[in-house]
């Protein structure tokens, strides 16, 4: 039950009063992400959305994502309010700061260092059988030493599975980092590690150039650009361009294994150190 305290949903309590919404992060009340606090003091990220199309137990199973470096899923289920019905997802907020707070572009040495930290977190997740399917700068927290503090990848998938269908675009972000096979609504049957390779390629491209690697000034424009493979003009180094170009392939089977990106980033890191 959600008890309305101030302008919805700030100040509301979720999950029988155990969670309080304290701050709006992005989106809108019906489809938005918020910061809150759990009863034990843990800061959490809260995504509110219209009712989900998938039964809650099945959705929780698919969004559990049990792997080191992935935030803990605290709650998922219906939230009855005085202003309508919402479904909610609550996950821990990592320590550190979001990668999106970084000024970009950065030099190749920094791109390689940050890219390797994220890639290694993905490697660990894949070894546990987990495809993250939600990697993006805003939802990747970094420590001061540039290690990954945690990835909170569930917001977009939760929003996309609500009613009415979003067609690959949600109202929280103006850029898209999901692989085209998921933006085109092929759904969970297409959930393969290659999807994370695409997202990592986009993150590396953003770090190297300060721009998303695909065209589009809105999420809808970018959706069409990604599905069609329309890239922006590259402004980073040729070495970095050569590394990520295969990772950004529209065709899943044409993307390299994650290990190939790791090896390439390690090579750039070594050459940058000389």
The domain boundary, picked from 45, 68, 92, lies at 92
Question: 233-267, pLDDT tens digit by residue?
Answer: 999 999 999 999 999 999 999 999 999 999 999 99
Last residue of a domain, one of 67, 92, 117: 92
Do 103 and 235 share a domain, yes or no? yes
Q: What is the CATH number of the domain that holds 36?
A: 3.30.200.20
Q: Do 67 and 121 have their domain in common?
A: no
Are both 125 and 65 inside the same structural domain? no
Residue 24 to residue 36: CA distance in whole angstroms = 9
| Co-location of 47 and 119 in the same domain | no
The mean of the pLDDT values for the chain is 89
- 140 in the same domain as 70: no
Instruction: Check whether residue 110 and residue 185 sit in a common domain.
Output: yes
Task: Look at residue 215 and tell me if it is in a domain.
Answer: yes
56 occurs within a structural domain: yes
Instruction: Grade residue 43 by pLDDT with cuts at 50, 70 and 90.
Output: very high
CA proximity to 205, closest of 236, 246, 230: 236
Per-residue model confidence (pLDDT) at position 166:
56
Same domain (yes/no): 102, 237: yes
Considering the domain architecture, whether residues 86 and 119 belong to the same structural domain is answered as no
Asked if residue 4 is part of any domain, the answer here is no
**Looking at the domain assignment, is residue 6 inside a domain?**
no
Higher pLDDT, 110 or 39: 110
Expressed as residue numbers, the domain containing 70 is 13-92
pLDDT tens digit string along 48-107?
Answer: 988 888 888 989 998 999 999 999 999 998 776 666 788 899 999 999 999 999 999 999
156 lies in a domain?
yes
Q: Judge if 103 and 120 occupy the same domain.
A: yes
Cα(119)–Cα(112) distance, integer angstroms: 10
Q: Which of 72, 92, 112 is the last residue of a domain?
A: 92
Would you state the pLDDT for residue 68? 95
Residue 116 lies in a domain: yes
In a domain, 170, yes or no: yes
- Kindly state whether residues 118 and 66 are assigned to the same domain: no
| pLDDT at residue 103, rounded to an integer | 96
Same structural domain, 57 and 156: no
- What is the count of structural domains for the chain? 2
Q: Tell me, what's the pLDDT at 30?
A: 75
pLDDT at position 176 over 80: yes
């Amino acid at each position: 039950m959600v008890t309305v305290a101030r302008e919805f949903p700030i100040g509301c309590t979720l999950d029988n009063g155990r969670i309080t919404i304290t701050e709006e992060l992005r989106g809108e009340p019906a489809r938005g992400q918020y910061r809150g606090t759990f009863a034990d003091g843990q800061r959490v990220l809260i995504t509110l959305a219209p009712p989900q199309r998938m039964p809650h137990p099945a959705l929780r199973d698919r969004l559990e994502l049990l792997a080191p470096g992935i935030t803990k899923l605290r709650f998922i289920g219906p939230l009855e309010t005085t202003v309508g019905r919402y479904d909610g997802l609550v996950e821990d907020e990592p320590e550190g700061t979001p990668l999106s707070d970084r000024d970009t572009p950065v030099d190749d040495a920094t791109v390689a260092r940050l890219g390797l930290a994220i890639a290694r977190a993905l490697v660990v997740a894949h070894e546990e059988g987990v495809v993250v399917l939600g990697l993006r700068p805003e939802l990747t927290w970094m420590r001061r030493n540039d290690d990954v503090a945690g990835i909170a990848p569930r917001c977009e998938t939760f929003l996309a599975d609500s009613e009415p269908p979003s067609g690959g675009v949600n109202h929280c972000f103006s850029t898209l980092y999901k692989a085209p096979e998921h933006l085109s609504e092929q759904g969970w049957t297409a959930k393969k590690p290659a999807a994370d390779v695409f997202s990592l390629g986009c993150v590396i491209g953003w770090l190297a150039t300060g721009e998303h690697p695909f065209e589009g000034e809105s999420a809808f424009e970018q959706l069409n650009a990604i599905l069609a493979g329309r890239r922006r003009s590259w402004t980073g180094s040729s070495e970095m361009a050569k590394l990520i170009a295969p990772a950004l392939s529209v065709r899943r089977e044409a993307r390299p294994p994650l290990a190939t990106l790791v090896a390439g980033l390690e090579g750039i890191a070594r050459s940058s150190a000389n």
